[in-house]
Amino acid sequence: MADEFFYTTPLHPLAQPLVEQLTWEYATRYGSYFDEQPGAEMSRYPAELFAPPDGNFVLLLRAGRAIAGGAFKRHDERSAEMKRIWTHSDFRRQGLARLIVAELELQAVRQGYGRIFLTTGFRQPEAKGLYLQVGYTPLFDVSVDPETYGKLPFEKELSVRPASLVRPPGSRSSLNAA
């Protein structure tokens, strides 16, 4: 069975595993380190920011179950800000986050963005490694202890295509099963 990308919103029932696991992960990795309630990051932005025309939210479904996902929102006129890259704990180490990042990059291009900006936390070395591997430029000194910065910013330039190919919420596209 082929995996498929499903464009939706963070409020869709299929997105609940993403929201719950990512909230738990942020809470357990950071606690109140940033002087916030544990898991506060997941309620920082309203769902509407991750919807067209300025943003988007995608899940990777396998047999109808969300196994990975991510989103972007407008950062500035030419830049999207990638958020919520996540892989279900049962499906890690299969390259799924890399698929999500690539799909979100394509969708950002479809929506007219020429650059992606993102931040990840210093206690997420696997995310830092992923972004470096897929061509993101760190906007910090990688030789310095990441805790010095707290949040680690990255950017990547994209090739812009017409916005007419935007995938609206509820659209699907299939992948070959890995």
Q: Kindly list the domain boundaries of the chain, sorted by start residue.
A: 4-174
Q: Contact at 8 Å (CB) between 116 and 100?
A: no
Other Cβ atoms closer than 10 A to 96: 21
**Per-residue model confidence (pLDDT) at position 174:** 58
Supply the CATH classification number for the domain 4-174. Answer: 3.40.630.30
* C-alpha 39 chain-centroid distance: 16
3-class DSSP state for residue 154? strand
3-class DSSP state for residue 46? coil
pTM for the full model? 0.83
Q: Contact at 8 Å (CB) between 85 and 102?
A: no
pLDDT in tens, the chain (178 residues): 689 999 999 999 999 888 888 787 877 776 776 666 756 676 778 889 999 999 999 999 999 999 999 999 999 999 999 998 989 888 888 899 999 999 999 999 999 999 999 999 888 888 999 999 999 999 999 998 888 888 899 999 997 555 445 555 565 665 544 4
